[in-house]
Amino acid sequence: MMNKPNLQEIKQVMLSEGMKVFTLPFDMTLGCIRTIDNKANTFNDFLFMLYHDASGKLCGIVEKGTTDAGLYYRLKPMTVKGTCIIMHGKQYRGAFTYMKKGGHRGQEAFRQTSKIWYWLDNNRDQYLDFDGKEAYDIFNTNGHDMGTNGVIVGNWSAGCWGSTNAIMDKFYLLAQLQMNHGHGDKFSLAVIHETDF
């Protein structure tokens, strides 16, 4: 299992990958780190949100979460095209909108509002395959609450990213902090991989 990286390590990886780290005070940089275990049905990835405060200090959070569909939807994809896997190695600029209501099934969430890149895994086994058919689309892979336990992903995700209610509440508060400082409700999502560290 990957050790939790710190904010500076994440920032350096993003910059080395040519991704944008936002530097205006309280302008959030949102992202996920996918770990190498592509079989697990657990919250074994990391979600992060980092920002610089008014003095330029790097602040933020790194928390356990998932970037992957749970086993339920790997075996039973929601579409005939296959299970949606958000491509890592990319930053999806302005692709998500924070919504207090209506973000995901009527609830608070980061809702996908622009197209992003996916792999479509259609062999219906327990492994996530990163070499399937590619698609550039909106499949509503939102960032949202996934229960209270944070143990088994199961049917909490068909390709969405997220974590427990308590953890996602931290991300929602930072989203509101960005909005309160005049940077709007749009968020870019950087999806990086453990092997980038």
In a domain, 32, yes or no: yes
The answer to whether residue 153 sits within a structural domain is yes
| pLDDT in the model for residue 27 | 98
Q: What's the rounded Cα separation, in Å, for the pair 163 and 110?
A: 12
In order of 18, 114, 115, 146, the CA distances from 154 in angstroms are 34, 26, 25, 10
Whether residue 117 lies inside any domain: the answer is: yes
Q: How many domains does the chain have?
A: 1
Domain presence at residue 2: no
* Residue 1 forms part of a structural domain: no
Q: Is residue 160 in some structural domain? A: yes
Domain carrying residue 93: 7-196
DSSP output for the chain: -PPPPPHHHHHHHHHHTT-----STT--EEEEEE-S-SS--B--EEEEEEEE-TT--EEEEEEEEB-S--HHHHHS-SSTT-EEEEPSSEEEEEEEEEEEEEEETTEEEEEE-S-EEEEEE-S-SSS--TTSEEEEE-----EEE--SS-SB-GGG-SS-EEE-HHHHHHHHHHHHHHHHTT--SEEEEEEEEGGG-
Strand partners, 161: 143
pLDDT attached to residue 88: 97
Residue 159 lies in a domain: yes
Report yes or no on 22 lying in a domain. Answer: yes
Q: What is the pLDDT of residue 173?
A: 98
Residue 157: predicted pLDDT:
82
Q: Which two tokens stand for residue 22?
A: 């936002």
Contacts of 186 (CB under 8 A, 6+ apart): 94, 96, 97, 113
pLDDT along the chain (197 residues), means of 10: 94 98 98 90 94 98 92 76 91 97 87 96 82 92 89 80 96 98 98 97
